[in-house]
């Protein structure tokens, strides 16, 4: 396998990994990302962490098939328990999971002292981006880069976070859209939010018809609809 064999989503994550990094890829089903990066000579060492036996074995096979069993350490472990500070990991990738699950993996990793704070985090949540950004910002990370891509009719966001920088003050709106994505307003971003707007307008209609007390939810949805409209107007859409 090679970097070009990666999905567009994982290729984008690979681009954010610094040259010569010591990488931990958590949730490393098949170890595709570490193997591709190793074959490109982009990383010097990698841990591929997996919590489920089947994917863990696939990751081991993939590393061995590429003659990388000495450079990619495949470990069966829950989240960041695959990593020890002695491993001197400089970048962590967690891709293809919900944002809340990624957040919880990071939180447990922090509680169990598996994060030095020097690692670059490269995260690709499938959903729950806002909750993940909220955790990162509360923990003192700066969102240094973001990307949005479309693959097989699905839209994916990537979030890169680094600590030890002067952290900007993020607004709630920036954490909702992504501070970098909001500045860039790429065509895929616009498409995502046009689609989301029509979904949220339908949600609002059904909330108004609800016989339960959903006042707070209505307020929240109205605010988000306003934000989306503002952003689309700013982009001339
Ligand atoms: N990262 C790959 C990608 O983006 O294509 C695989 C994504 S796959 C949908 C998610 C993987 O994460 C599964 O193999 C699952 O077993 C693993 N996973 C889920 N929770 C985990 C955890 N707490 N620790 C380690 N791996 C986990």
| 190, 232 contact by CB (below 8 A) | yes
Q: How many residues does the chain have?
A: 237
Ligand 1 centroid to Cα of residue 203, in Å, is: 31
- Beta-carbon count within 10 A of 65 CB: 12
Give the strands of the sheet with 21-26, arranged side by side: 72-76, 43-50, 21-26, 91-97, 120-125, 154-162, 142-151
Using an 8 Å Cβ cutoff, are 89 and 63 in contact? no
Ligand 1, atom 10: nearest CA belongs to which residue? 27
> For atom 12 of ligand 1, which residue has the closest CA?
27
Using alpha carbons only, what angle is made at residue 198 by residues 196 and 204, rounded to the nearest 5 degrees? Answer: 100
Which of 154, 158, 186, 153 is closest to 11 using CA atoms?
158
d(CA 175, CA 75): 33
Residue 26, ligand 1, Cβ within 6 A: yes
pLDDT of residue 21: 98
Beta bridge partners of 173: none
DSSP class of residue 114 equals: -
pLDDT for position 165: 80
Dihedral sign of CA atoms 178, 184, 187, 191 in order: positive
pTM for the complete prediction?
0.96
Ligand 1 contact via 52 beta carbon (within 6 Å): yes
d(CA 178, CA 130): 8
Give CA–CA dist 160/124, Å, rounded: 9
Instruction: Write down the pLDDT at residue 4.
Output: 56
| CB count in 10 Å sphere of residue 81 | 17
Report which protein residue has its CA nearest ligand 1's atom 19: 27
Name which residue sits closest to atom 18 of ligand 1, judged by CA: 27
Cα atoms in the Cβ-side hemisphere of radius 13 Å centred on 74: 25
Which atom of ligand 1 is the closest one to the Cα of 79? 24
C-alpha dist (Å) from residue 156 to 9, 49, 58: 7, 22, 24
- Pick out the chain residues at pLDDT < 50: none
Nearest residue (by CA) to ligand 1, atom 8, is 96
Measured distance CA(188)–CA(155) in Å, rounded: 8
The reply to whether ligand 1 has any atom less than 6 angstroms from the CB of 99 is no
């Amino acid at each position: 396998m090679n970097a070009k064999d990666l999905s567009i989503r994982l290729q984008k994550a690979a681009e954010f990994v610094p040259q010569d990094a010591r990488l931990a890829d958590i949730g490393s089903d098949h170890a595709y990302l570490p193997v591709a990066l190793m074959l490109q000579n982009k990383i010097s060492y990698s841990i591929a962490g997996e919590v489920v036996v089947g994917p863990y074995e696939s990751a081991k096979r993939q590393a061995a098939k590429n003659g990388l069993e000495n450079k990619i350490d495949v470990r069966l472990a829950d989240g960041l328990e695959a990593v020890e500070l002695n491993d001197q990991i400089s970048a962590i990738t967690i891709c293809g999971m919900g944002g809340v699950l990624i957040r919880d993996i990071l939180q447990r990793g922090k509680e169990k002292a598996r994060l030095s704070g020097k690692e670059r985090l490269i995260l690709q949540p499938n959903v729950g981006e806002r909750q993940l950004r909220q955790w990162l910002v509360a923990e003192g990370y700066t969102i240094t880069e973001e990307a949005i891509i479309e693959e097989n009719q699905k839209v994916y966001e990537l979030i890169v976070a680094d600590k030890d920088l002067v952290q900007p003050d993020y607004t709630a709106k920036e954490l909702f859209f992504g501070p970098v994505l909001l500045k860039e307003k790429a065509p895929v971003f616009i498409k995502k939010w046009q689609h989301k707007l029509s979904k949220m307008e339908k949600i609002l209609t059904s909330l108004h018809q609800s016989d339960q007390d959903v006042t707070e939810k209505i307020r929240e949805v109205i605010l988000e609809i306003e934000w989306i409209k503002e952003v689309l107007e700013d982009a001339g859409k």
